[in-house]
A and B are shown apart, each in its own frame.
Chain A
Amino acid sequence: MPTDISHIRNFCIVAHIDHGKSTLADRMLELTHTVEGRNMRAQYLDRMDLERERGITIKAQAVRLLHDGYELNLIDTPGHVDFTYEVSRSLAACEGAILLVDAAQGLEAQTLANYHLARDAGLVIVPALNKIDLPAAEPDQRADELAKLLGVDPDEILRVSAKSGEGVQALLRAVVDKVPAPTGDAEAPLQALIFDSAFDTYRGVITYVRVKEGRLPSRATIKMFATNVTSEAEEAGVMAPEATPVDALGPGEVGYLVTGLKDVHQAKVGDTITLAGKHGAPQPLPGYREPKPMVWSGLFPADGSDYSELREALDKLKLSDSALVYEPETSQALGFGFRVGFLGLLHMDIVRERLEREFDLELISTAPNVEFHVFKGADEIVVHNPAEMPPGGDYDRVEEPVVYATVITPSDYLGAVFELCQSRRGEQVDMEYLTPERIEVHYVLPLAEIVFDFFDQLKSRTRGYASLDYEPWGYQEAKLVRVDVLLHGEPVDAFSSVIHRDKAYEYGKRMTERLKELIPRQLFDVAVQAAIGSKVIARETVKAKRKDVLAKCYGGDITRKRKLLETQKKGKERMRRVGKVDVPQDAFIQALRVDEKAGAKR
Chain B
Amino acid sequence: MTDAGVYVHVPFCLTRCGYCDFNAYEGLDALKPTYQQALLREIELAAPGWAGTPFVSVFLGGGTPTTTAPADLRALLVHLRDRLDVADDAEITIEANPDTVDVDSLRAIRDAGFDRLSMGAQSFDTAVLASLERIHQPASVRAAIAAARGAGYDNVNLDLIYGTEGESIESWERTVHEAIGLAPEHISAYALTIEPATPLGRQVAAGTRAAPDPDVQADMFQIACDLLGDAGYRHYEISNWAKPGYECKHNLGYWERRPYLGVGAGAHSYRDDVRWWNVRPPEAYIETVGRGELPIGGSESLDPSDAYLEEVFLKLRILEGVPASWFEPDRYERFVANGLLEDEFGQLVPTERGMLLLNELVLGLTA
Chain A residues within 8 Å of B, Cβ to Cβ: 523-524, 543, 545-556, 558-559, 561-562, 564-566, 568-569, 572-573
Contact = CB atoms under 8 A, between A and B. Distances in A.
B153 interface: no
B363 A572 contact: yes
Among B221, B270, B317, B363: residue with most chain A CB under 10 A: B363
A562 B7 CA distance: 21
Given A543-B215, A555-B260, A555-B267, 7 more contacts: A523-B340, A545-B214, A546-B353, A546-B357, A548-B214, A553-B254, A569-B367
Nearest to A559: B275
A562 B300 CA distance: 12
Contacts of B192: 551
Contact of A558 (B191, B310, B360): B310
B123 to A, nearest CB: 15
A31 B135 CA distance: 84
8 contacts: A523-B340, A546-B214, A551-B192, A555-B267, A555-B270, A559-B300, A565-B313, A569-B367
Contact of A545 (B7, B355, B357): B357
Interface of B: 7, 190-193, 214-215, 217-218, 221, 238-239, 251, 254-255, 260, 262, 266-270, 275, 277, 300, 306, 309-310, 313-314, 317, 338, 340, 353, 355-360, 362-363, 366-367
Contacts of A568: 359, 363
Nearest to B358: A549
A308 B360 CA distance: 34
Given A554-B251, A562-B310, A566-B309, A546 B356 contact: yes
B359 A565 contact: yes
Contacts of B254: 553-555, 558
B217 to A, nearest CB: 6
Secondary structure class of chain A's binding surface, majority of residues: loop
Among A549, A552, A553, A558: residue with most chain B CB under 10 A: A549
Nearest to B306: A562
Contact of B191 (A547, A559, A566): A547
A562 B217 CA distance: 23
B215 A547 contact: yes
Contacts of B190: 551-552
Would you list the 7 A-B pairs with minimal beta carbon distance, nearest first? A546-B218, A549-B358, A547-B214, A551-B190, A556-B268, A548-B359, A551-B191
Given A553-B317, A565-B313, A565-B363, A547 B238 contact: no
Among A552, A555, A566: residue with most chain B CB under 10 A: A555
A447 B98 CA distance: 73
Contacts of A546: 214-215, 218, 353, 356-357
Contacts of A572: 363, 367
A523 B359 CA distance: 11
A153 B126 CA distance: 89
A517 to B, nearest CB: 16
A572 B191 CA distance: 25
Nearest to A573: B367
Given A553-B255, A553-B317, A569-B367, A548 B360 contact: yes
Contacts of B239: 551-552
Nearest to B262: A555
A549 B363 contact: no
Nearest to A561: B313
B363 A547 contact: no
Nearest to B213: A547
A561 B310 CA distance: 9
A555 B8 CA distance: 11
A583 to B, nearest CB: 16
Contacts of B275: 558-559
Contacts of A561: 313
A547 B193 contact: no
Contacts of A554: 251, 254
Contacts of A545: 214, 357, 360
Contacts of A543: 215
B251 A547 contact: no
A552 B217 CA distance: 14
Contacts of A524: 338
Given A546-B215, A555-B7, A562 B309 contact: yes
Contact of A549 (B268, B314, B356): B356
A552 B191 CA distance: 9
B363 A569 contact: yes
B260 A547 contact: no
Contacts of A523: 338, 340, 357, 360
A551 B314 CA distance: 12
A554 B239 CA distance: 11
Nearest to A564: B359
Contacts of A562: 306, 309-310, 313
A565 B267 contact: no
Contacts of B260: 555
A145 to B, nearest CB: 54
Contacts of A547: 191, 214-215, 217-218, 221, 356-357
B259 to A, nearest CB: 11
A549 B317 CA distance: 10
Contacts of B314: 553, 558
Contacts of B362: 565
A548 B310 contact: no
Nearest to B298: A559
A546 B317 CA distance: 16
Contacts of B306: 562
A569 B358 CA distance: 13
A569 B190 CA distance: 24
A571 to B, nearest CB: 9
Nearest to A548: B359
A556 B217 CA distance: 24
B222 to A, nearest CB: 9
Contacts of B269: 555
Nearest to A552: B190
